[in-house]
Amino acid sequence: MSEILLHEVGLRDGLQIEEQTVPTERKLDWIGRLVESGIDLVQVGSFVNPQKVPQMADTDTLFREIGTRGLGKRGCTFTALVLNEKGLERGLACGVEYFCMGVSASDTHSRKNTGMTTEEAAGRIIAMGRQTLAAGKGLQVSVQSAFGCGYEGTVPKERVLALVERFLEAGFTSLSLADTAGHADPAQVEDLFGTIHERAPQARLACHLHNTYGLGLANAYAALRAGATSFESAFGGLGGCPFTAVAAGNVCTEDLVHMLHRMNLRHDVKIEPLAELAHDAAAFFGRDLPGTVQRTGAIPHPGRYGGGVKP
Three-state secondary-structure class, residue 201: coil
Give me the percent of the chain exceeding a pLDDT of 90.
81
Contact 143, 102 (CB under 8 A): yes
C-alpha span between 252 and 112 (Å, rounded): 26
pLDDT at 72: 79
One-letter amino acid at 22 equals: V
Estimate to the nearest angstrom the gap between the alpha carbon of 281 and the chain centroid.
Answer: 18
Which one of 94, 149, 241, 252 is the catalytic residue? 241
Q: What is the band of 2 on the pLDDT scale with cuts at 50, 70, 90?
A: very low
List, for residues 256-291, the tens digit of each pLDDT value.
999 999 999 998 999 999 999 999 999 999 999 999
Average pLDDT over residues 297-305: 69
pLDDT at 241: 54
- pTM assigned to the model: 0.93
169: Cβ contacts below 8 Å, ≥ 6 apart = none
Answer yes or no: is pLDDT of 46 > 70: yes
Contact 289, 237 (CB under 8 A): yes
Q: Which DSSP string corresponds to 243-260?
A: TSSS--PBPBHHHHHHHH
| Active-site residue, 241 included | yes
pLDDT at 245: 45
Domains of the chain, earliest start first? 5-296 (3.20.20.70)
Contact 234, 14 (CB under 8 A): yes
